[in-house]
Amino acid sequence: MAAPLSPVEPAPASAPAERRPKSANQAVRIGAEPSTVARRLILGIIGGIFLIPVIAMIEFTFRNGLAGDYTTSHWTGLFTEDSARTYRGLYQAIENSLVLAAVTVAIVLVLLLPTMVLVHMQFPRLKRTLEFICIIPITVPAIVLVVGLAPVYSVVVQVLGGSTWTLAFAYGITVLPYAYRAIQGNLDAIPVKTLSEAASTLGAGWLTVLWTILLPNLRRGVLAASFISIAVVLGEFTIASLLNRRNLQTALLQVSQSDPWVAVIFALAALALAFILLLIIGRLGSATPSRRKS
Amino acid sequence: MTATFTMTGPTATHTPTAGATVQLSAVVKAFSGHTALNSIDLEVAPGELVALLGPSGCGKTTALRSISGLESIDSGRIVIDGVDVADTPTNKRDIGMVFQAYSLFPHMTVLENVEFGLKMRKVAAARRRERALETLDMVGLTKHRDRFAHQLSGGQQQRVALARALVTRPRVLLLDEPLSALDAKVRVQLREEIRRLQTELGITTVFVTHDQEEALAVADRVAVMRDGRIEQIGTPEELYATPANAFVADFVGLSNRMPAELVDGQVTLHGCSLNLLGDPMPDGPVIALVRPEDIALSADGIAGTVISSSFLGSLRRTRVRLFDDTVVAIQHEVERHPLPGEAVTVRLKGAPVSALPPKVKK
Ligand SMILES: Nc1ncnc2c1ncn2[C@@H]1O[C@H](COP(=O)(O)OP(=O)(O)OP(=O)(O)O)[C@@H](O)[C@H]1O
Ligand SMILES: [Mg+2]
């Protein structure tokens, strides 16, 4: 759970520590950083824990039944017309998940971002409250959330119909803690008040201020919030399953019961996508804005 | 820098904007119980530069922000160009503002920053660029047009901020301690540039500062503020020569504090009887505020010992410890060069003085 948070503010934690010269007093210092060997060992073990299942998954997709020999037919089979028909449900579920991700991101951008900017500028005293509210979802297990959401959704279905995208309302809540942290970090780093006041004395209305002044300067935080939201939504199973909706994860579970190889292939693809998103976030966190040429 | 400021430069082709009048009447603003502005009356004439001067926390910034609309006022009226602006939001007030904190848009180049105000006014791109470059030239920064704020020095950033505020030829220019983050030399340079540009363009300007020297140097008139009120408003000469009260006398210019006696409304000091400036006070012991130029080194008079003497270019300032242990600064011509330890005698020239009640010690 903590993993997606770290790329947003990576510099203070890791960068200076690595640059610190190795000096004699280092050994004396309590809590000194581990030696190179220890560091590699830790990295190796943790990397292994991550990699072994992934490698096992990849290996599994090439297996031919239980006989122990290998085949590429599970991969090539995916691209035949036949499979397109068989896995139509799965493709539909992927589409659902992508729509959900998009709507969730939209909720974050349209609701959370302006709220945070407003609170930051106009109602700084509400900052603590907003933070508290946004962090709550991380402490509530998905199952508990569903218990509360079930009656809500019976109303939602009546009003908006039962299509899958409505699930994004629930996802909008589950991604709050991550999105909040990503945006807040960026908000704290720029002089929001001064910049927007300067813009408004120059004739900009509040919408222009938000769009042409704040958004470009909040780019990093907003992108990070969006990618984290996407990653969370693509990996979500519990809520969708318990509310009887089809998304990528529920469909994968279903497929795995008939064709475990295909399920694993799709799981790998989802994992790769999430991994790429996190890598991009990491880069965003460390790189200076690209327009800043020197 | 100054080379770019010849009158034949690009600014000369502009007809100076006739600045607007700005009137504040009985403006009150309180922050959760604390009165930041306590009935402010101020009238700034078209093209005039008025400095708001006062100690920290006296409400200068609040006054300026009220004019700009960044702060709403509790009561009173703010009238710009004859129109009450109570219902006009900041972005419609047609003002230019330079902030104390660096406020350039970090994601835009210098040129884009300067163009911003024109963009908001929907000026066509070509015309926009032309005017932005023209204004950048006025502050001598054309060569840095493609830089970003973080690639500029503090002084350069404030110059760009000034250009950004001036490019739209606003009705009113509001400056909130624009120089306070800069070092002394740049500060003097830039304040003169601001004054020149302001005069050239004829823009009505309110300049906030807590530096009395700065206020006296650039302003047509100075309003001295204390605790949310304007204590006195007048030309620098008026404030200096006839301060309305001891606070103004003490805050504007340099004053020696000398123990004295008030007798029949006259300040009696080392045998001299001096007229009292400002409001009458009850007779009794007072602290007289005497300007350094109102004391002279003389052949006879009050005895004292020279502590130090410093050369200030066209004049010299000498610190003398008088026989009663009061230390006074005396301003005199450069030719006379007292040495530390030298025994001297001084006399009062007899100019009127302000006085503080005795309990207000330093
Ligand atoms: N947003 C605010 N909330 C509460 N109090 C405020 C606020 N802004 C200003 N004040 C108070 O109002 C008073 C006047 O503040 P202001 O900023 O106008 O002072 P100033 O004269 O500009 O001082 P300085 O020279 O330090 O900038 C101060 O006592 C300050 O504490
Ligand atoms: Mg201030």
Q: Residue A217 Cα, ligand 1 centroid: separation in angstroms?
A: 28
**B236 pLDDT higher than 50:** yes
User: Nearest-CA residue of chain B relative to A217?
Assistant: B107
Q: What pLDDT, on a 0 to 100 scale, did the predictor assign at position A30?
A: 58
Check A203 against B120: CB less than 8 A apart: yes
For an interface test with B, give the residue of A190, A202, A220, A222 to mutate (most B CBs within 10 A): A202
Q: What pLDDT, on a 0 to 100 scale, did the predictor assign at position B241?
A: 86
The string of pLDDT tens digits covering residues B302-358 is 999 999 999 888 899 999 999 999 999 999 998 888 999 999 999 999 888 988 887
Q: What pLDDT, on a 0 to 100 scale, did the predictor assign at position B359?
A: 65
Residue A124 forms contact with B (CB below 8 Å): no
* Chain A residues with beta carbon closer than 8 angstroms to that of B101: 191, 194
Assess whether B141 and B216 both reside in one domain. yes
Q: What pLDDT, on a 0 to 100 scale, did the predictor assign at position A191?
A: 92
Is residue B18 a part of any domain in this protein? Answer: yes
Q: What pLDDT, on a 0 to 100 scale, did the predictor assign at position A104?
A: 94
> Beta strand pairing status for B221-226 and B49-53?
parallel
Q: What pLDDT, on a 0 to 100 scale, did the predictor assign at position A293?
A: 39
The string of pLDDT tens digits covering residues A82-135 is 777 777 888 888 889 989 999 999 999 999 999 999 999 889 999 999 999 999
**A286 pLDDT higher than 80:** no
Q: Lowest mean pLDDT: which of B4-13, B143-152, B237-246?
A: B4-13
Residue whose CA is closest, atom 1 of ligand 1? Answer: B31
Taking a C-beta distance cutoff of 8 angstroms, is the pair A176, A111 a contact? no
- From residue A275, how far is each of A227, A269, B88 by CA, in Å? 10, 10, 50
* Chain B residues with beta carbon closer than 8 angstroms to that of A290: none
The string of pLDDT tens digits covering residues B84-140 is 999 999 999 999 999 999 999 999 999 999 999 999 999 999 999 999 999 999 999
**A291 pLDDT higher than 60:** no
pLDDT band at A156 (very low <50, low <70, confident <90, very high): confident
> Beta strand pairing status for B272-275 and B316-322?
unpaired
Q: What pLDDT, on a 0 to 100 scale, did the predictor assign at position A32?
A: 67
Taking a C-beta distance cutoff of 8 angstroms, is the pair B222, B236 a contact? yes
Q: What pLDDT, on a 0 to 100 scale, did the predictor assign at position A29?
A: 53
Tokens of A173: 């809540």
pLDDT band at A5 (very low <50, low <70, confident <90, very high): very low
Q: For the residues B183-209, what does the mean pLDDT come to?
A: 93
Check B106 against A200: CB less than 8 A apart: no
**B264 pLDDT higher than 50:** yes
Is residue B232 a part of any domain in this protein? Answer: yes
Taking a C-beta distance cutoff of 8 angstroms, is the pair A121, A250 a contact? no
What is the average pLDDT score of chain A?
82
Is residue B3 a part of any domain in this protein? Answer: no
The string of pLDDT tens digits covering residues A185-224 is 999 999 999 999 999 999 999 889 989 999 999 988 998 8
ipTM beyond cut 0.90: no
Assess whether B133 and B231 both reside in one domain. yes
Assess whether B151 and B199 both reside in one domain. yes
The string of pLDDT tens digits covering residues A7-57 is 333 333 333 444 444 444 444 455 667 788 989 999 999 999 989 999 999
Substitution candidate for ligand 1 out of B31, B35, B174 with most atoms within 8 A of CB: B31
Q: Which residues on adjacent β-strands are paired with residue B224?
A: B53, B232
Closest partner CB to A201 (pick from B95, B107, B150): B95
Task: Show which of B208, B241, B274 is a domain's final residue.
Answer: B241
The domain containing residue B309 runs over which residues? 254-356
Is residue B361 a part of any domain in this protein? Answer: no
Assess whether B197 and B325 both reside in one domain. no
Assess whether B95 and B228 both reside in one domain. yes
Q: For the residues A67-79, what does the mean pLDDT come to?
A: 81
Q: For the residues B55-73, what does the mean pLDDT come to?
A: 95
Residue B101 forms contact with A (CB below 8 Å): yes
What H or E segment, with its residue span, contains residue A174? helix A167-174
Task: Show which of B209, B241, B273 is a domain's final residue.
Answer: B241
**B5 pLDDT higher than 70:** no
Residue whose CA is closest, atom 24 of ligand 1? Answer: B56
Q: Which residues line ligand 1 (CB under 6 A)?
A: B 31, 34, 36, 54, 56-62, 210
Tokens of A269: 């693809």
Q: Which residues on adjacent β-strands are paired with residue B268?
A: B261, B273
Distance CA A82, CA B244 (A): 97
Check B116 against A199: CB less than 8 A apart: yes
| CATH homologous superfamily for the domain A87-285 | MetI-like (1.10.3720.10)
* Chain B residues with beta carbon closer than 8 angstroms to that of A291: 107, 148
**B300 pLDDT higher than 90:** no
What H or E segment, with its residue span, contains residue A71? none
Handedness of CA B347, B351, B357, B361 (dihedral sign): negative
Task: Show which of B241, B269, B301 is a domain's final residue.
Answer: B241
Distance CA B132, CA B201 (A): 15
The shortest C-alpha distance from A133 to chain B (Å) reads 27
Count how many domains chain B has: 2
Residue B117 forms contact with A (CB below 8 Å): yes
**Three-class SS of residue B144?**
helix
Residue A294 forms contact with B (CB below 8 Å): yes
Rg (CA), chain A: 23
Instruction: Report which ligand 1 atom has the smallest distance to the Cα of B60.
Output: 21
Is residue B146 a part of any domain in this protein? Answer: yes
Is residue B130 a part of any domain in this protein? Answer: yes
- What CATH number is associated with residue B78? 3.40.50.300
**B160 pLDDT higher than 90:** yes
Assess whether B225 and B269 both reside in one domain. no
Assess whether B226 and B81 both reside in one domain. yes
Give the distance from CA B334 to its chain's centroid.
Answer: 28
Q: What pLDDT, on a 0 to 100 scale, did the predictor assign at position B51?
A: 97
Instruction: Report which ligand 1 atom has the smallest distance to the Cα of B63.
Output: 18
- What CATH number is associated with residue B325? 2.40.50.140
Assess whether B199 and B286 both reside in one domain. no
Assess whether B29 and B149 both reside in one domain. yes
User: Nearest-CA residue of chain A relative to B168?
Assistant: A202
Amino acid at B124: A
Q: Residue B102 Cα, ligand 2 centroid: separation in angstroms?
A: 14
Q: For the residues A220-242, what does the mean pLDDT come to?
A: 90
Q: What pLDDT, on a 0 to 100 scale, did the predictor assign at position B235?
A: 96
pTM of the model: 0.77
**A2 pLDDT higher than 70:** no
Is residue B187 a part of any domain in this protein? Answer: yes
User: Nearest-CA residue of chain B relative to A201?
Assistant: B91
Check A197 against B90: CB less than 8 A apart: yes
> Could you tell me what percent of chain B has a pLDDT over 90?
71
Check B107 against A208: CB less than 8 A apart: no
Assess whether B35 and B83 both reside in one domain. yes
Assess whether B118 and B31 both reside in one domain. yes
Assess whether B121 and B233 both reside in one domain. yes
Is residue B86 a part of any domain in this protein? Answer: yes
Q: For the residues B53-68, what does the mean pLDDT come to?
A: 95
pLDDT band at B7 (very low <50, low <70, confident <90, very high): very low
The string of pLDDT tens digits covering residues A239-269 is 998 888 888 888 888 888 888 888 888 888 8
